[in-house]
Structure 1
Amino acid sequence: MKNVAAIFILLCSAVPSDAQQMLSLDSCRAMALRNNKQINIARLKKDVATNTRKAARTKYLPHIDVLGGYEFMSKEISILNNEQKGVLGSLGTTAAGELGNTMSSAITDMVSQGVISPQTGEALGNIAGKLVPGIQNAGNAIGKSINDAFRTDTRNIFTASVMLRQPIFMGGGIVAANKIADISEQLTDNEITSRTQNTIYDIDNAYWTIVSLKHKEKLANSYLNLVKKLSDDVQKMIKEGVATRADGLKVDVKVNEAEMQLTQVENGVSLAKMLLCQLCGMPINKDIKLEDEDREDALTDNSIAPSGNAETAKENRAELKILQNAVDISKQTTNIIRATYLPQVALTAGYLVTNPNLYNGFEKKFSGVWNIGVIMRIPVWNWFEGTYKIRASKTATTIAMLELDEAREKIELQVSQSSFKVSEANKRLNMANKNTERADENLRCANLGFKEGVMEVSDVMAAQTAWLQARSQKIDAEIDVKLTQLNLKKVLGESLY
C-alpha cells in the first residue's frame, strides 16, 4: 500500500504545473467581459456619470457656507478727526481761559461803576483765580473721556458669518444641467452595451476561427495520410516495375506540399489561440484547448437564423442611442447658454459676527446680526454675445442630428448587406456539401481505378487535390454561415449572449 501511495505522489509531481486549460465559448466570453479594459473604463465612466447626476440634483437645494477671518490693522478707524480730538483734549483749558477773562472783565466793570468796592473786587478776583484751575482740570478730563469714548480700537478685527443661498429662478439652467446629467448616465449605459457587444463579437469570431482551423488541421492530416499512402503504394509499384521513378517524384512533391500545408495550418491555429488568449486577458502563450475543437458537428449551425429589419436595428443599436444622447445633450447645452442671459433670482440669508461689536459702539465683544434678502441679476447689454453663442449651439445640435440621420441610413445598408451575406453563405454551404459528396465519390473511384490499374498516379493525385479543396471549402462555408449570422445579430442590435 505504501508503494502505491509513493507511486501516486511521484505521478502527481510529474504533472506540469501549467496544465492545458479547457475553455468553452461561454467561459471565453465571461473572461473577456471581465478583463476587457475598454469595458472596465466604460463602467468607471458610468460611476462618474452617476455621481455627476447626484451632484447636479444638489443645485436645487439651499447651500450653506461658513466664513471666518482675522485682520490686523496698523491704524484704527477714527470717528473724530485730529482737530476735533485737539479741541476736546483742551476743552477745560479753553473753558477756564474764557471763564477767567469773563469774570475779570465783569469784576473790573463793577468796580469802575461803583457797584462793589475795590477790596471786594480784589477778593472776588482771588476767588476766581482759585476756581479757574479746577474748572480747567475738570474740563480737560471731560474732553479726554469723550475722546476715549469715540475710540474704535479696530486694529484687531475678528469676523465670522454663516451664509445660506437658495436659487429661486436661474433661467432654467439648473433644470437643463440635471437633464444633461441624466442623459450622460444613459450614454454611459449605452457605451457599456456597445463595448460588450463588440467584445463578444470579437471573442466569437476568434473562437470559431480556431475551431475551423482545427478542422482544417484534421483535414490536412487526413490529406497527408492519403498522399503518404499513395507514396507507399507507388514505391511498391516502382519496385515491381509497374510504375516509373517520375511517378514517385510527383507523389513525393505532393507529400511535401501536404506537410507544408499542415505546418501553415498549425501556425495559424497557434496565432489564433494567441489572439483569443489576449482577448480573454490570459497570457498569450497559455496552453488552451477549446471545447468544440474535436466536435465533428461544431461548425454545423443548427440555430435559427436571426430575423429582423432596419427598424428593429434602429431601435436596438447602441450606437444610434449614443448619437441620440449626443443630440439631447446638445439641446440642453443650448438651454444652459440661454439661461446665462436670462434674469436670475436667489434668496440669501445669514448671520454675521464681529469683534469689535459694530452695533454697540465698537465694544470689545463678539456680537452678530441676522440678515435676509433677495438677489436679482438681469443682463441688460452684452453686444449680442448671447445671441451668437445660442446660434453656435443650435448649429452644433443640427450637426449632431445630421450625424444621427446618416448613421440610420448606414444601418439600413448594413442590415441589407448582412442579410444578403447570410443568404449567400447558406447557398455556398449547400454547394460545398454537394461538391464534397462528389469529391468523395471521385476519390473513391480514383483509388479503385488505381488499384485495378486503369488509372494513372496523376489521376489519383488530382482526385485527392479536388477532395482536399472540396473539404476545405465546406469548412470555410460552415464557418462563414456561423459568422455571417453572428454579424447579422450584431447589426440588428440583438443580444449576442
Structure 2
Amino acid sequence: MIKAVLCIFLGVLFHSLPAQQVLNLQDCRNLAIENNKKLKIAGKELEASRAQKAEAFTKYLPSIDGAGIYIRNQKEINLLEHDAYLPVGTIKADGSWGLRGDQIQIVNGKPLPKDYALLPREAMTVDARNTALLQLGLTQPVYMGGKIRAYNQLAGLSEQLSESKLEQEMQNVIQMTDEAYWQVVSLVNRKKLADKYVESLQKFTRDIEVMYTTGVTTKADVLSVKVKLNEAEMLRLRVEDGVSLSRMHLNQICGLPTDTVYTLREENMELQPDVVIPALTLEQVYARRPEVAGLELAARIYKKKEKIALSDYLPTVALTANYLTMAPSFFDGISTKMDGMWSVGIGVKAPIFHWGASRKSLRNARAQTGIMEYRLQEAKEQIELQVSQAEFKRREVAKKLEMAEHNRQRAEENLKLAEVGFREGTIPVLNVLEAQTAWLSAQSDRIDAQIEMKLCEVYLLKAYGVLGK
C-alpha cells in the first residue's frame, strides 16, 4: 500500500514538473518552429526542389537504356513453297552465265537445260517461332538549344525560391508566436491587477461595514461599495477566462497539450521596450524581405522559361551508341542463336513547322515575366508603406506609453489622497470608488501600452525582414 501511494505521488510530481516550467519568448518560438505544420511543408518543398535540382543536372550526362522483347510465333517462316530446281550452266569467257551445247537438250522442239541443282525447301526455312531481341543504347546530348542549361538554372532558382518561402513562413510563425505570447503576458498581468483591485475593494468593504455598524457611514455607502466589488469580481472572472483561452492558443501554436500550464518569464517582471531596432534603408529592407526575394526569383524563373520556349526554335544534336542482339539472327546466315552488332551515330532534329506553337509559348513566358515584374514593384511599394506605418506606430505608442506612466503615477497619488481623506472624513465613499476606478483604468492603460509597444517592435522587425534573426 505504501509503495502504491509512493508511486502515485511520484507520478503526480513528475507530471506536474512541466506545468511549473518557466518559458521565455525564445523557448516558445523554438517550440512553434519545431511543431508548425506549414514550416514542415515548406521544408519538404525545399527538399523536393533540391532533389529536382540534382535531377536536372543529370540531363548533362549520357543516358543508358535497355530494351528487350520475346515473341512466341505459331509458324515458321518458309521462303519457298516447294523444293526449287536451278539450272546448271557455265560462266563464259566474258563473265556472263550461259549453257554449253552439251548442257542443252531439245524437248518438244525447245532447248532446255539438261542438268539441275536442287534447292530444298528446308534450306530456306527460318525457325522464327521463338523470337527475341535485346538492345542496349547510350545517348549523349550535345546541343539542345540551351534547354538543358536553362533547366538547371531554373532548378537552382526554384531551390532559392523554396528557401525564401521557408524563411517567410518562419517569420510568420515567429510573429504569430510573439502575438500569442504577449497576449498571455498581458492577460496574466491584468489578472494580477484584477486580483489586487478585488483585494483592495474587499478590504474597503470590511472597513465600510465596520464604519456602518458604528454609525459613521450610511447603508447606501455600503451597497455602493458592494456593487463595485461585484463588478470587480466579474471583471476578474472574465480576465481569468481570457487567460485560460490565451494559454490554450499559445499551447496550440507551440505544439503543447492545450491543458498545459506554465509560467512565462515576463509574467514576473516589468515590461520595458529593450529591443534594439536596427536603422535600415529601404534598399536594405528589400534585400532582407523574403517576399521581395521570392518575387525576384519568380521573375528570374520566368526569364529562364523564356529561354526554354526560345530553345524550341533551335535544332538539337545528340550522339548515340547501341548494341543489338537478336534470335534468330541473319548476320552470318540464318541462325537460331543470339547474335548481335554495335552501332554509333549522330542525330539532328530541327523544328520546321508546328503552327506557331513555339511562338505562342514564348509570348506566354514573356507575359508571365511581365506579371512577376509588376508584382515585384507593387510589393516594394506595399513594403515601403508597411515600414513607414510600423515606424510611425512605434513612435506613437512610445508617446502613449509615456503618458500612461504619468497617468498611473497621478492615479496612485490620487487614490492615496482619497483614502487619506476618507479616513479623515473629508471625502465621501463615492470619491474613493472613483479614485479606485481611475487607478484601475490607469494601470490597465499602462499594461496595454507596454504590450502594444512589444507588438510594435515585432511588427517593425517583421517589416524590416529581420524578425527572429
Q: What's the TM-score, normalizing by structure 2?
A: 0.90
Residue 387 of structure 2 aligns with which residue?
Answer: 415
Q: Aligned ranges for residues 33-44 of structure 1 at < 5 Å?
A: 33-44=33-44
User: Is the contact made by 1:167 and 1:347 (CA closer than 8 Å) also made in structure 2?
Assistant: yes
Q: CA deviation at 1:305?
A: 3.3
Q: Aligned ranges for residues 464-483 of structure 1 at < 5 Å?
A: 464-483=436-455
Matched, 1:391 2:363: yes
Q: CA deviation at 1:413?
A: 0.2
Q: CA deviation at 1:205?
A: 1.5
Q: CA deviation at 1:75?
A: 4.4
Q: Aligned ranges for residues 15-414 of structure 1 at < 5 Å?
A: 15=13, 17-19=15-17, 20-22=19-21, 23-79=23-79, 82=81, 85=82, 87-88=84-85, 102=106, 139=116, 142-145=117-120, 147-295=121-269, 297=270, 299-414=271-386
Q: CA deviation at 1:17?
A: 2.7
Which of the pair is proportionally richer in strand? 2
Residue 112 of structure 1 aligns with which residue?
Answer: none
Larger C-alpha radius of gyration, 1 or 2? 1
Q: CA deviation at 1:76?
A: 4.3
Q: CA deviation at 1:228?
A: 1.5
- In structure 1, give the amino acid aligned to 2:454: K
- In structure 1, give the amino acid aligned to 2:378: E
Residue 116 of structure 1 aligns with which residue?
Answer: none
SS of the equivalent of 1:241 reads coil
Query: Residues 414, 446 of structure 1: CA spacing in aligned structure 2 closer, same or farther, 3 A cutoff?
Result: same
Q: CA deviation at 1:362?
A: 1.8
Point out 4+ residue stretches in structure 1 off by more than 6 angstroms.
5-10, 98-101, 103-106
Q: CA deviation at 1:89?
A: 8.7
SS of the equivalent of 1:15 reads helix
SS of the equivalent of 1:380 reads coil
Question: What runs of 5+ residues in structure 2 fail to find an aligned partner?
Answer: 89-98
CA distance in 2, matches of 1:6, 1:359: 89
Matched, 1:493 2:468: no
Residue 111 of structure 1 aligns with which residue?
Answer: none
Equivalent in 430, 437, 450 of residue 458 of structure 1: 430
CA distance in 2, matches of 1:495, 1:29: 11
Equivalent in 466, 484, 488 of residue 456 of structure 2: 484
The total of aligned residue pairs comes to: 452
Question: What runs of 5+ residues in structure 1 fail to find an aligned partner?
Answer: 107-134
User: Is the contact made by 2:83 and 2:118 (CA closer than 8 Å) also made in structure 1?
Assistant: no
CA distance in 1, matches of 2:458, 2:107: 124
Which of the pair is proportionally richer in helix? 1
CA distance in 1, matches of 2:417, 2:339: 114
CA distance in 2, matches of 1:100, 1:166: 63
Q: CA deviation at 1:366?
A: 1.8
CA distance in 1, matches of 2:348, 2:78: 35
Which deviations, in whole Å up to 9, do the C-alpha atoms of 1:315-335 show, x marking residues without a partner?
A: 100111111121111111122
SS of the equivalent of 1:293 reads helix
Q: CA deviation at 1:475?
A: 0.5
CA distance in 2, matches of 1:370, 1:306: 69
User: Is the contact made by 1:309 and 1:415 (CA closer than 8 Å) also made in structure 2?
Assistant: no
User: Is the contact made by 1:64 and 1:165 (CA closer than 8 Å) also made in structure 2?
Assistant: yes
Which deviations, in whole Å up to 9, do the C-alpha atoms of 1:7-41 show, x marking residues without a partner?
A: 98786466373441422222211111111111111
Which deviations, in whole Å up to 9, do the C-alpha atoms of 1:281-301 show, x marking residues without a partner?
A: 111112222222222x1x112
- In structure 1, give the amino acid aligned to 2:453: V
Q: What's the TM-score, normalizing by structure 1?
A: 0.85
C-alpha root-mean-square deviation of aligned residues, in Å?
2.7
Query: Residues 21, 329 of structure 1: CA spacing in aligned structure 2 closer, same or farther, 3 A cutoff?
Result: farther
SS of the equivalent of 1:372 reads strand
Q: CA deviation at 1:104?
A: 11
- In structure 1, give the amino acid aligned to 2:58: T
- In structure 2, give the amino acid aligned to 1:34: E
CA distance in 2, matches of 1:10, 1:71: 75
Identity %: 37
Which deviations, in whole Å up to 9, do the C-alpha atoms of 1:206-231 show, x marking residues without a partner?
A: 11221121111111111111222221
Matched, 1:437 2:434: no
Query: Residues 157, 89 of structure 1: CA spacing in aligned structure 2 closer, same or farther, 3 A cutoff?
Result: farther
CA distance in 1, matches of 2:332, 2:379: 73
User: Is the contact made by 1:152 and 1:361 (CA closer than 8 Å) also made in structure 2?
Assistant: no
SS of the equivalent of 1:346 reads strand
CA distance in 1, matches of 2:429, 2:179: 40
